[in-house]
Amino acid sequence: MSTPTITAAVTIAGETVPRVELTPVAVDLLRSLWDEHGPLMFHQSGGCCDGSSPMLFMAGEFITSDQDVRLGQFDLAPTGAPSQPLDFWMSAEQFNYWSHTFLTVDVVPGRGSGFSAEAPRGVRFLIRSELMTTVTPFAVPAGTVGVEADAAAPIPA
Amino acid sequence: MTVYAAPGTPGSKVTFKARYENWIGGEWVAPVKGQYFEDITPVTGKPFAEVARGTAEDIELALDAAHKAAPAWGKTSATERAAVLCKIADVIDANVEMLAVAETWDNGKAVRETINADIPLAADHFRYFASAIRAQDGDHAQLDDDTVSYQFHEPLGVVGQIIPWNFPILMAVWKLAPALAAGNAIVLKPAEQTPVSILVLLELIGDILPPGVVNVVNGFGLEAGKPLASSNRIRKIAFTGETTTGRLILQYASANIIPSTVELGGKSPNIFFSDVAQEKDAFYDKAQEGFVLFAFNQGEVCTAPSRALLQKPIYDSFLGDAVTRAKKIIQGNPLDTDTQMGAQASNDQLEKILSYIDIGTKEGARLALGGERADLGGDLTDGYYVQPTIFEGHNKMRLFQEEIFGPVLAVTSFTDYDDAISIANDTIYGLGAGVWSRNGNVAYRAGRDIQAGRVWVNNYHAYPAGAAFGGYKSSGIGRENNKLALGHYQQTKNLLVSYSENKQGFF
């Protein structure tokens, strides 16, 4: 049976539409890394050399706080197997600029990635993005995002 | 025009070893687990050497060597240490072409940059910190007639340093020079994308330093970086990289209650006020070049001017001229001195840049130039090349908010001074910025109002030793390239001395 895409369960209070998914190749890699390391977590990075990439850590290795947003929770387990929950986190300040996009975690050949767990396999997780059609379903506090309103602003001509 | 012979072909300035081990205690030491990984040149996408895949066991060996060396090195005089740093600088100067070709092959950047910037600057940074440590005084204060407070600078001891891949040798030197000048012993982990060029430098300078003062362990972040950053045998950890790993390193440092300096990237605004176009003179030409500097080092610079802010009255004309200029960027074999833009450093970096071009298009940004992978043909066809790319959009787009680390520029307009500063500061980062104006008052005020550690005024992308470099906001903590950096590698010892013969009188 081929590996499915896995969509993260909604974890932001008041929201109803998922924000993150895994491609089948990402699912296969994550299951293999789970076998090697045990429970895992993602934290989306920003900036500099290896940034703007999702970093994979042993669950709890990276200490999250109120300054982080949990965008969703994957369950890596095949149907009927015990749950393998994997949270996807991002800093709240970064989320302010990312909240209008749906994120797909993919895998590409690559080398190096901060302390992310996949690097020794010669691959890198990569984010692909789609615009979410609207922010209306999301109960985002007023003034913290504002992307929808600004997106209507014309590009300078 | 010169085209340097590719390493591995006749006449090359550098001959790489087939395999590089770790540099520990002044000698090459095989990794404990016996594992190696391939170093790939981005110029052709092909492997060219094997490098030790270090683990916690190798980090421990390096820490053993560093702890053995640190006490004696820390007791040497500033005069002796400065002499060592100057000797290193002389050796670098005597081997510029060899180191430049090695760096270009490892990283993919154009050799004109490694020859004229990376390698000469590396030598100069050693000389700067040789001078700075000689000139550094302690401090004393006579607190009353009998009591004197003396303050001494002491080395921290053994420190850890984790280096990025965008300027592999120069970034290592930014951290090595102040740490060595201050009398510390070092365990350094280079980036796994570019592990070899620093080892080529070590082959040249290794025996100038006492064994164990500088130790280099290569490997992956999880396997070698984490054991170093989280070790309770270091007294400081320095890191250049991205925000998540930066936070993780600060978390490890907190567990050991040690200081950490972190430099974590940026999304630097480059602001052009209308008066730059008042005349089409040399200054206008300079400002145009300042705009096109987004493509310098293929955009792989933490301070890349990746957001251009143009004042509305000059938006169309200035951008039109700049796009014409950017079209003339010569992309080609990085070993050709005429090449202005080389290869991105790795395949995943290439993929990430393309993913941002994709989201930029989806967000509605308008493509003004480039936007695709570049196939340079021949041996370079599998190398990691991207066209210089310019998008027009608005500052809330992800193109404007995320560090792409590629030759991708996001351009927008502003109405007046306040609008310019507001857009410039609407970012989580605060590393670099550029301000261009013929009006000194405007340029000065803008430079002070932008929340960034380095604001270039009427220039960009200069990194002279002496000018403090570091971030505001989420761009990090600490300053490099200036004598301030010595303080990041020193303890303060206070001796409070009583010269009175009489008791205090409490008991």
In chain B the domains, ranked by start, together with CATH numbers, are: 19-264+475-493 (3.40.605.10), 269-457 (3.40.309.10)
Identify the domain containing residue A78 by its residue range. Answer: 6-151
Of residues A51, A108, A113, nearest to B347 (C-beta): A108
| A102 in a structural domain | yes
Residues in chain A: 157
Q: Do B244 and A97 touch (CB under 8 A)?
A: no
pLDDT score at A50: 76
From the list B237, B284, B207, B231, the residue with the least C-alpha distance to B58 is B231
pLDDT band at A136 (very low <50, low <70, confident <90, very high): very low
> What residues in A contact B394, CB-CB < 8 Å?
150-151, 153, 155-156
- Please tell me the distance from the alpha carbon of residue B432 to that of residue B452, in angstroms, as a whole number: 6
pLDDT score at A111: 82
> So what's the ipTM on this one?
0.94
Catalytic residues of B: 263
| A157 in a structural domain | no
pLDDT score at B470: 97
Phi/psi at B172 (5° precision): -65, -45
Q: Do A98 and B398 touch (CB under 8 A)?
A: yes
Q: Are residues B136 and B153 in contact, defined by beta-carbon separation less than 8 angstroms?
A: yes
Across A19-31, average pLDDT: 98
Of residues A47, A93, A126, nearest to B266 (C-beta): A47
| A115 in a structural domain | yes
| A105 in a structural domain | yes
| A47 in a structural domain | yes
Helix locations, B51-116, DSSP H: 56-75, 78-94, 96-107, 111-113
- Please tell me the distance from the alpha carbon of residue B8 to that of residue B48, in angstroms, as a whole number: 8
Report residue B86 as tokens.
């100057």
How many Cα atoms occupy the beta-carbon half-sphere of A13 within 13 Å? Answer: 1
Q: Are residues B65 and B217 in contact, defined by beta-carbon separation less than 8 angstroms?
A: no
From the list B208, B176, B172, the residue with the least C-alpha distance to B190 is B172
| A87 in a structural domain | yes
Across B17-36, average pLDDT: 98
| A88 in a structural domain | yes
Report residue B144 as tokens.
């009353």
Give the residue from B107, B244, B352, B428 with the most A CB atoms within 10 Å of its CB, the best one to mutate.
B244
Q: Are residues B85 and B134 in contact, defined by beta-carbon separation less than 8 angstroms?
A: no
pLDDT band at A147 (very low <50, low <70, confident <90, very high): very low
Q: Do A155 and B312 touch (CB under 8 A)?
A: no
pLDDT score at A112: 73
Which B-chain residues 392-411 have CB contacts (< 8 A) with chain A? 392-394, 396-398, 401-405
| A1 in a structural domain | no
Split into its structural domains, chain A has a count of 1
Q: Do B347 and A62 touch (CB under 8 A)?
A: no
Q: Are residues B405 and B352 in contact, defined by beta-carbon separation less than 8 angstroms?
A: yes
Print burial letters for B340-360: b (CB count within 10 Å at least 16), e (below 16).
Answer: bbbbbbbbbbbbbbbbbbebb
Q: How far is CA B308 from the centre of its chain?
A: 22
3-state DSSP assignment of residue B346: coil
Q: B219 to chain A: nearest residue by CA?
A: A120
Q: Do B164 and A147 touch (CB under 8 A)?
A: no
β partners of residue B473: B429
Q: Do B241 and A50 touch (CB under 8 A)?
A: yes
- For the stretch A67-110, pLDDT in tens is 999 999 999 999 999 999 999 999 999 999 999 999 999 999 98
Q: Is A45 at the interface with chain B, CB within 8 A?
A: yes
Q: Are residues B384 and B350 in contact, defined by beta-carbon separation less than 8 angstroms?
A: yes
Percent of chain A with pLDDT over 70: 84
From the list B184, B174, B182, the residue with the least C-alpha distance to B210 is B184
Q: Which residue has the higher pLDDT, A83 or B346?
A: A83
Phi/psi at B196 (5° precision): -90, -40
Q: pTM (2 decimals)?
A: 0.95
Tell whether the model's pLDDT for residue B101 goes beyond 60.
yes
From the list B136, B138, B140, B102, the residue with the least C-alpha distance to B122 is B102
Q: Is B125 at the interface with chain A, CB within 8 A?
A: no
